[in-house]
Chain A
Amino acid sequence: MDRVIATVIGIVVAVGVSAIVFVGANKLFDLAPRRWSIFSTLIGGASSLAIFGLLWGNRLIDQPVTVTAIATVVGALTGYALSRTSDQNAHLAIGAVAGVLLGVLAGASIKPQWRPGIDAIALVLSVVLFLAVGVGIRSLRNTNSNMLRPVLLWGSIGWIIGAFLYPDLGTGTVAWTVIASVFAGGLLGGWVGTFPLPDQMMKRDIAVGSRKFIFLIPALAFISMTLVIPLIRTIWLSLLTGLPKELTWTGLSNYVDIVTDPTIIDFSDWTDVFTSRLFIGGIVVLIIGLVVARISGKRTGERLGLNGGSLAAISAGFILVAFAVFASVRGTISNNLWWIFAVTIFSTGAGLAIAVMSDRSKGENVAKSFIFMPMAISFVGAGIIWRFMFVARPPTKDQTGVLNAIWVKIGVWSNSTTATTVIVIILSLIILGLIYIAFRGRQAGNISVAAGSVVIALPLVWIIYKFLGPGLGGYEVFEGEVFAKPILFLTESPFNNFWMMVVLIWIQTGFAMVILSAAIKGVPADLLEAASIDGATESQKFWRITVPQIGPTIGVVVTTLIVTVLKVFDIPKVMTNGNFDTQVLANEMWQRAFTELDFGLGSALAAIIFFAVVPVMWRNIRQMQDQRAST
């Protein structure tokens, strides 16, 4: 119970503090045009708090609580004082005095081991150098402006560096420390004092112009901390080699190692493409699709009429051909591309189809929940689930994996005359039905329905042929007896790759569905109504209104999926760990960096993943933005 309470309190505090800080910042800047003095007071206090907080965080000062509190009050009073007068000289004086006060405070409280020694030469040189730089920049940019401001600012920077950062620490006296920080504080305070009291216009500018920073800084801070800095570090590490504590420079040799690794890509069997059944089948379907598209295109005056039927055939053909290529050209890169291709297309396609279909079906929520379920099941569960799906057992045993049980059963039917007859009759009836639909479709002039039915009928014909001829399913005949011959889903290369992709497709379809479903709900109802009134069919409404409307969202889904897939490592790790020709870059990276602690090579792989995907994303996002601009 204590833990529950503590946890709840922790959550409330974490969320509450974040909210207060954020809303507070907004409210604070809201004050600028209306209540400048309050704004100025709070900003003054906050600045001092930030500076002394930095000293505190670096463990530089004694009694940090008291000192920081005093400094905050001094800062707040300064801000208030600055807001009460518009006199330029008074401003300068107030700023300088406050700076001196804070300087005394800081100088006196700095811990003995951090007190700087005196290095007069360095101090003078540093001040002169920075003054020269500052004044120089200002003169170049604006020749006849007031030189006081850059002198104060750059002088103070030069002073801080020369007095505090350059000399040896821990050798100085209290007196010198106080003097040094008083000078620094006075100069900086004076610089603050040079800013005049803003007029109403400027106040409003501050209130409005600050907003982008308030809105963006939390995100950018988090992203820098968790992604940008580690990314830079990764790129740096990728140029090193050795164990974590003894890394040495090695230039680009990690990258060379990766690229020259013989398993990265292997073209030795690429000629198999042209003889593979996938390729031939794919080409046939592709040609049918193109022909249909051409015919229906003629009616509408387009070069290619892309509608449900022709698009389905063309994409199916394209996918088959691509699979044939991936299955023939092997290697890590090929595996990765295959993953990207298959998971992105199937997850987006299925997610979109389900989102659209469920949008008008009864039981929408139930159907969507079931599709979504795989996302909710943790990865640990998914691993177990697919083990149960893929498992194979020896011929003498019952199959315990769903897929093999079905496959072996088909094999049994294929060898039984009765079963074969029944199946052939059923399939023939379905084919006849499809031919009837095709015929009616042709009559009604709806070429896409006609072509679609034919395309669906083709594989059924092929199944009948297999049943009557060479046989289908998992079996082998040995000395007249029929034995089960299960598929070893995870060890038979190259299609074991695809079976692992199935797992990710199964998971990510729910992702695509949820996002696309939300987007479809956002398509303005009036647009759809207007189209209905104009007599558009459902499919026309889909292709001509819904798809363009949700185009950018499809872009989001595709881009996210590409990235997710390229980074996928847990499925290959758990299922094969890269054995049997299934290695992917991210799993290789994990093995090198985390299992073997070879940060150099691991980082190089990570950098390759990053650099490979950034151009794709850049293009995608640009395109999405253009699309958005044009609609």
Chain B
Amino acid sequence: MTTTKPPETSYGIGETKQLTGRVASLLGQIPTWVLWFFVVVWTIPTLGLFINSFRTRDAQRNSGWWMFWQDGANGYGSLTLDNYSDVLGTSATGGLANGLLNSMAIAVVATILPIAIAAFAAYAFAWIDFKGRDTLFIATVALLAVPSQVALIPLLQMYAGGAHLTLPLIDKTITVFPDLGLAGTIPAVWLTHTGFALPFAIFLLHNYISGLPRDLFESARIDGADHFTIFRKLVLPLSIPVLAAFTIFQFLWTWNDYLIALTMIGGNRQALPATVVIASLAGEFGRLEHLLTAGAFVITVVPLVVFFALQRFFVRGITAGSVKG
């Protein structure tokens, strides 16, 4: 790689000469300008949704969201909170409050479980030596490529009726996973999310944990620390940025998940999460789709809070600081 090159060639004479004067300062500001350009472009679609969430159905359908200030004049009804009150007051599919509660129950556990399990596994793959480690690791991560939809029906069968297998030749059936009646319940969603999340979680955490400085582990081992202690006292604190990153994603995915929850819970509306409640609002043929504008914002609040809360863990130099200290 380039880093292995001697410094003389890395910093060639021609390249180090700087542009001078105003041009340089202008060029220096380009990244900031480009960044804010990205921000604006990325935000416009969401902004449109946000403004439309205050407009009536007819207004949403008939004029662009940037014309919102003329809705009244155009006869579409002026800006209103009706969409929000309809969404918050819905009684369909168990009601929104119930849905949000279920979403929370699903997302919290389905975030904590995979993080914990994956952190241990990632540590083992990175720092415990055993035969076949790399192969097992790659095989695990390769399961990322399984389209998870194909697992939905077998898992549902297992939750509904347990897993049984008939032994060949002797024709006896034994139970591998008892029929705990999990189908239609939130624990079924936990288990499913946890399993589906693990390959990516292990992949991401392993990438980070295996990059921690080797000296750290060696000095700890000389001090007589066992793997569990090293994991708890060293690896976990050092991995906070990546744990925060994964927490954000896993929380979002589980919070915003529609398909897995609906499939595992099915017709048990007491347990359905907010995404299903909101999607149901639109009705058959999407007749009331204009309500989804408000619905989308109502359920976005929680993941955004999570993002803001965890963002402060992306701090420079945690690794470097600890190595020194």
Contacts and interface: CB of A to CB of B under 8 A. Distances in A.
A binds B: yes
B107 to A, nearest CB: 10
Contacts of B77: none
Nearest to B295: A380
Contacts of B204: 515, 556, 560
A379 B109 CA distance: 21
A91 B38 CA distance: 73
A40 interface: no
B207 interface: yes
A22 interface: yes
Nearest to A611: B145
B52 interface: yes
B35 A380 contact: no
A462 interface: no
Nearest to A375: B252
A426 to B, nearest CB: 17
A59 B295 CA distance: 46
Contact of B15 (A300, A386, A569): A300
B143 A227 contact: yes
Contacts of A389: 45, 48
Contact of A384 (B66, B123, B130, B293): B293
Contacts, number: 390
B120 A215 contact: yes
Nearest to A354: B38
A215 B296 contact: no
A8 to B, nearest CB: 8
A381 B317 contact: no
Contact of B120 (A216, A603, A628): A216
A623 to B, nearest CB: 12
A552 interface: yes
B137 to A, nearest CB: 8
A575 interface: no
B141 A617 contact: yes
A606 B49 contact: no
Interface string B91-127: 0000000100110110011001100111011011100
Contacts of B46: 373-374, 377, 385
B228 to A, nearest CB: 4
A377 B300 contact: yes
Contact of B143 (A214, A228, A233): A228
B150 A593 contact: yes
Given A14-B187, A548-B3, A594-B149, A518 B101 contact: no
A11 B108 contact: yes
Given A165-B172, A536-B10, A518 B304 contact: no
Interface residues of B, number: 145
B81 interface: no
A567 B157 CA distance: 23
B73 interface: no
Contact of A376 (B38, B196, B307): B307
Nearest to A597: B153
A617 B144 contact: yes
A547 B1 CA distance: 10
Given A215-B123, A400-B62, A537-B16, A610 B117 contact: no
A158 interface: no
B268 interface: no
Interface in A361-382: 361-362, 365, 367-381
Contacts of A375: 249, 252, 303
Contacts of B34: 353, 357
Contact of A370 (B13, B39, B295): B39
A2 B202 CA distance: 36
B9 interface: yes
B154 A230 contact: yes
The A interface is mostly helix, strand or loop, or mixed, namely: helix
B1 A631 contact: yes
A449 B45 contact: no
A136 interface: no
A11 B195 contact: no
Interface in B16-71: 16-20, 23, 27, 31-32, 34-36, 38-39, 42-46, 48-49, 52, 60-67
Contacts of B143: 223, 227-228, 231
A335 interface: no
A219 B118 contact: yes
A525 B289 contact: no
Contacts of B236: none
B13 to A, nearest CB: 8
Interface string B125-150: 10010100010111011111111111
Contacts of B314: 517-518, 521
B183 interface: no
A303 interface: no
B140 A223 contact: yes
Contacts of A631: 1, 3
A621 B204 CA distance: 12
A590 interface: yes
Nearest to A629: B210
Nearest to A18: B113
Contact of A548 (B2, B15, B16, B98): B2
B264 to A, nearest CB: 11
B41 to A, nearest CB: 9
Interface centre among B35, B194, B308 (most CB of A within 10 A): B35
Most buried by A among B16, B207, B275, B289: B207
B287 interface: no
Given A369-B308, A372-B307, A378-B299, A537 B38 contact: no
Contact of B23 (A231, A376, A398, A440): A440
B182 interface: no
A361 B120 contact: no
A225 interface: yes
Nearest to A556: B207
Given A11-B109, A370-B43, A540 B196 contact: no
Given A231-B146, A400-B63, A548-B1, A165 B17 contact: no
A351 B299 CA distance: 25
Contacts of B42: 370-371, 373-374, 506, 509
A219 B140 contact: yes
Interface string A515-526: 101110110111
Interface in B298-325: 299-300, 303-304, 307-308, 311, 314-320, 323
Closest 10 CB pairs of A and B: A226-B195, A381-B296, A230-B151, A219-B121, A215-B124, A378-B256, A613-B145, A376-B303, A357-B35, A524-B320
Interface of B: 1-3, 5, 7, 9-20, 23, 27, 31-32, 34-36, 38-39, 42-46, 48-49, 52, 60-67, 98, 101-102, 104-105, 108-109, 112-113, 116-118, 120-121, 123-125, 128, 130, 134, 136-138, 140-151, 153-155, 158, 167, 170, 172, 174-175, 177-178, 186-187, 190-192, 194-196, 198-200, 202-204, 207-208, 210-211, 226-228, 231, 241-242, 244-245, 248-249, 252, 255-256, 258-259, 275, 278-279, 289, 292-293, 295-297, 299-300, 303-304, 307-308, 311, 314-320, 323
Given A399-B64, A440-B19, 17 more contacts: A161-B170, A226-B194, A230-B151, A231-B151, A234-B151, A299-B15, A353-B34, A367-B36, A371-B38, A375-B249, A377-B49, A379-B258, A388-B48, A444-B19, A518-B314, A522-B208, A621-B141
Interface of A: 3-4, 7, 10-11, 14-15, 18-19, 22, 26, 30, 57-59, 161, 165-166, 169, 207-208, 211-212, 214-216, 218-220, 222-223, 225-231, 233-234, 299-301, 307, 350, 353-354, 356-358, 360-362, 365, 367-381, 384-386, 388-389, 398-402, 405, 436-437, 440-441, 444-447, 449, 506, 509, 511, 514-515, 517-519, 521-522, 524-526, 534-537, 540, 543-545, 547-548, 551-553, 555-556, 559-560, 563, 566-567, 569-570, 586, 589-590, 593-594, 599, 602-603, 606, 609-610, 613-614, 617-618, 621-622, 624-625, 627-628, 630-631
8 contacts: A22-B116, A350-B38, A354-B35, A373-B46, A374-B46, A384-B49, A518-B244, A552-B207
